[in-house]
Structure 1
Amino acid sequence: MSEPELHDRVAVLSGRLGYALAPASDLAPELLQQWNRESANDRFVCVDDEFVYARFFADFGPLNLAQTVRFCREIDERLRDADNGGSTKVGDRETTRSVAHTLVLVSSAHPHKRANAMTLLALYLVMRHGRTPEQAVAPFADLRAPFGFRDAACGICSFFLTALDCARAVHKAMRTGIWSWEAFSVPAYEHLDELHNGDMNWIVPGKILAFSGPQRERVELDGDAQGRQRATLLAPEYAALFRGQLGVRCVVRLNESSTYDRKAFLHAGIKHLDLEFPDGGNPPDEILYKFIRTCERASGAVAVHCTAGLGRTGTMIAAFLIKNLRFTAPEAIAWCRLCRPGSIVGPQQQFLLVKQRELFQLAPSRTADVASRSLAPLTKKQPPLQRIVLRSTTALRGR
């Protein structure tokens, strides 16, 4: 029985989970079926076409938190199947195995697919097996380093995120209490992430929400895969959502004040703060520190937007993470992009790298409060925050 032609095979979980690189940039399903039919000890799987990054320009990853959690759940399920012997389906014929076998995740040789596969496995080890970031990337240490992740632009890239940066970001988020496997709801994330549901993502659950800036007029979009019409939300609709279970008590606008009338939020009892600075630019200190103080002193959640809620928004939130939760700049950038892909663009990356030292010299403010807000949904008396969010926003589906 011939062995599959694979490269860079390594053990991720000894005897249970491995990784290997296919010889071509496009891996045919028929080839996987052949390998599974011929192998007595391994079960090969490829998820290159199942977990796909929705790029803006030249960016290609990392995959968002919902996709990452879906991947982890699928690996958990496949490992249980592998431990029990499982079955292999070839055409209409299903073959049952009586002994445990090793699950091998195979990625194509395309550099983007390879980078995402390695990063997903590293995050799986952090999220599901309690590995440190360094332990999580150790299985790939002797392999050719994957492509680094770039920003959502198309020019020359001068800063790249690594799989280790992403693993450190998730590890830091879990250690500081702003994210947990138990509290995260994939349906809630994906619902709020939809443009017609607000294009919103929690960066610090219960504390800081990033969203796309409202406009004076509704923008009609093409229908979704189910043929349902989509349209952007207006400021009053955001205000209604924010006043509900989302718990937003302050909105910070970073773009032009002409985009919408702030009274929509004020009349709903939500504070509104304008901290405008140029699109694609970096905030002056006066604006940056006023934003950080606003988040620190807010009695409820703070919702932040610029035009798309990516560049300026991500930069300001990342600075908060650096000062108050002691994320490094690469960790803060990685976390923002895992929560909200496309965040922090161009020179904003270098700005955070330079600003890190200054922010580290400042004492964290109310860090324990930030953590407690995020951990509170895990108590028995209160359901997970993201599930509350899902229930409170399902009414939008009928609009």
Structure 2
Amino acid sequence: MRHLPKRITEVTNQAVQEVITLIPRLYFSVFENKITTDSKLKYIFLYINEHTQYVPFADDFGPIDISSTLKFLEIVKAMHTKFTNSHLFICCLNVDKERLNGAVLAGAYLILYERMELEEVYDLLTGSGGISYISFLDASTDAEAWKMDLKSALSGFVAGFQNQFFSLKNFNFYEHDHYGLVQYGDLNWIIPGKLMAFAKPTETQVIDHYPPNSTTRLAPMFVKFGITAIVQTNEKEYDPLDFTKFGIKHFLLTFEDMTEPSPEYVLQFLKICQEEEIIAVHCKSGLGRTGTLIACYMIWKFKIKAETCIAWLRLARPGSVLTLQAAWLIKMFPLIVCLTKDDIMNNNINKLIMGSPLPTRKSSSPIKSTTISATKGSAIKTLDKPKTRLRKTKVVAGGE
């Protein structure tokens, strides 16, 4: 355990749980009531709920998405660098959800800016048992769904950074934030330059004069992004010609909402990923089936644990992978990771057949991002208003 300087005991005495020293002059702390930054800047308090916000689908509450996280961490880095005589606190109120999100942000800083190992960061945040943490819920109302813990959430930053899914120096905040909005595409890069997730195209009109994310609107956008193929996993609702006439191939791998793909579809998807340069994948919301297939590729290509794949997917596109899909990915990891290129190209389903589907049970549907964008009467507001990000976390006014 890292010892606290005696001169900050006047602050630590007000903490309801342990104050953790992250690095010299930077701490993670939990308070019952907010403490304001003093005029001399001896103590600077950065409350996570004043700089970030997660917009839930159901009972989910995080983790905070990659864009909002990086913006917050840039603030932490700038403050810590500039005010060398100050003690800086990444802090939150004593609420279960805030404690977990706060710990993820604090841990992400150590991983990304201090280059600390995951185990060291996790031990620092949990070793003494001074702060208790719950687990994240997925974006459904399924009480039996896999719950992501603090360590798994932090592992998403490790995998994303090590595999260059994002960069601290040139992360494209505008592209992530703008096109992630429902009214501007509802799409996100999961693996930049390789795999994009998006919600289904729709012709249904919405209010405030925003055009729908129709195939005719998305196709030119995909040409701009260099998309060479689209994989659709929901029921056929549009003419593939809307994309193929632009030279974008279209593949239909349909399976039921909030279920896992068949072994045949896993192999077909991996084969498509082998043969096509840049792929956009969608289901209805671009979350469950979409995220599950993309996770299969991440497991096979990068040898990343299933839990870590899910963590990165939820950082890149909040709400990804739902209900039974997470447990299925964890179960299938040892089979998918061992597939060879020959297995994929020759459709060797025997390599995956051992991983039979999990028992079927009824689960509640999540809030569908696409139905938000496609439902008549859905209120979609302009970019300059804080609540425009209907389905993503955001940095609120004053936290930019």
TM over 0.5, shorter chain? yes
Give the deviation of 1:313 after TM superposition. Answer: 0.2
Query: Pairwise mapping of residues 96-115 of structure 1 onto structure 2 (< 5 A)?
Result: 100-115=85-100
Runs (5+) with no aligned partner, structure 1: 84-99, 224-228, 366-396
* Residue aligning to 1:45: 46
Deviations 1:304-359 (A, max 9, x none): 00001000000000111011111101000001100000000000011101110101
Q: Structure 1 residue aligned with 2:162, among 156, 172, 175?
A: 175
Q: Does the CA contact (< 8 Å) of 2:187 and 2:199 recur in 1?
A: yes
Question: 1:335 and 1:105 mapped to 2: Cα distance?
Answer: 22
Counterpart residue identity of residue 267, structure 1: K
Q: State the distance in 2 between where 1:364 and 1:54 align.
A: 40
- Matched letter for residue 337 of structure 1: R
In the TM superposition, what are the counterparts of 1:313-328 in structure 2 within 5 Å? 313-328=290-305
Once the two structures are TM-superposed, the CA of residue 47 in structure 1 deviates from its matched residue by 2.5
CA contact (8 A) 1:208 1:302 kept: yes
- SS of equivalent residue, structure 2 residue 243: helix
Helix, strand or coil at the partner of 2:48: coil
By relative contact order (CA 8 Å, sep 6+), the higher-ranking structure is 2
In the other structure, the counterpart of 1:247 is 226
Q: How many angstroms apart in 2 are the aligned matches of 1:44 and 1:241?
A: 42
Report the alpha carbon displacement of residue 277 of structure 1 after superposing the two structures with TM: 0.5
TM-score, length basis structure 1: 0.79
Structure 2 residue 205 is the aligned partner of structure 1 residue 219: yes
Q: Is the counterpart of residue 344 in structure 1 residue 324 in structure 2?
A: no
Q: 1:148 aligns with which of 135, 145, 167?
A: 135
> What letter corresponds to residue 14 of structure 1 in structure 2?
I
Residue 233 (structure 1) aligned with residue 213 (structure 2)? yes
Deviation at 1:40, TM superposition (A): 8.1
Decide which moves more: 2-11 or 53-62: 2-11
In the alignment, structure 1 residue 126 sits paired with structure 2 residue 126? no
Matches of 2:66 and 2:170 in 1, distance apart? 13
Query: What is the distance in 2 between the residues matched to 1:267 and 1:158?
Result: 40
Distance in 1 separating the partners of 2:46 and 2:182: 32
- Matched with 2:363 is none
Task: Tell me the secondary structure at the aligned position of residue 220 of structure 1.
Answer: coil
Aligned to 1:357: 334
Q: Take 1:310 and 1:352, find their aligned partners in 2: how far apart are those partners? A: 14
How far residue 32 of structure 1 moved from its aligned partner, in angstroms, is 2.0
Alignment partner for residue 290 of structure 1, among 268, 271, 281? Answer: 268
- State how 1:1-399 maps to structure 2 within 5 Å: 3=11, 5-23=14-32, 27-28=33-34, 31-33=35-37, 36=38, 41-83=42-84, 100-141=85-126, 142=128, 143-215=130-202, 217-221=203-207, 223=208, 229-244=209-224, 246-257=225-236, 259-298=237-276, 300-363=277-340
Q: Which moved more, 1:246-255 or 1:150-159?
A: 150-159
- Residue by residue over 1:365-395, the C-alpha shift from the partner in whole angstroms, topping out at 9 and shown as x without a partner, is 9xxxxxxxxxxxxxxxxxxxxxxxxxxxxxx
Distance 2:329 2:205 in 1: 33
Write the distance in 2 (CA, Å) between the matches of 1:316 and 1:219: 29
Single out whichever of 348-357 and 43-52 deviates more from structure 2: 43-52
Query: 1:52, CA displacement in angstroms?
Result: 0.8
SS at structure 2 position matched to 1:356: helix
1:108-139 deviations in Å (ceiling 9; x for gaps) = 01111111010011111111111111122232
Distance in 2 separating the partners of 1:68 and 1:2: 29
- Aligned-residue CA RMSD (Å): 2.0
Identity %: 26
Instruction: Note the residue ranges of structure 2 that are not aligned, 5 or more in a row.
Output: 1-8, 343-382, 384-400
Q: Report the secondary structure of 2:89's partner residue.
A: strand
CA distance in 1, matches of 2:46, 2:164: 33
8 A contact 2:107–2:125 mirrored in 1: no
Name 1:86's counterpart in structure 2: none
Pair 1:231–1:134, CA change in 2 (3 A) = farther
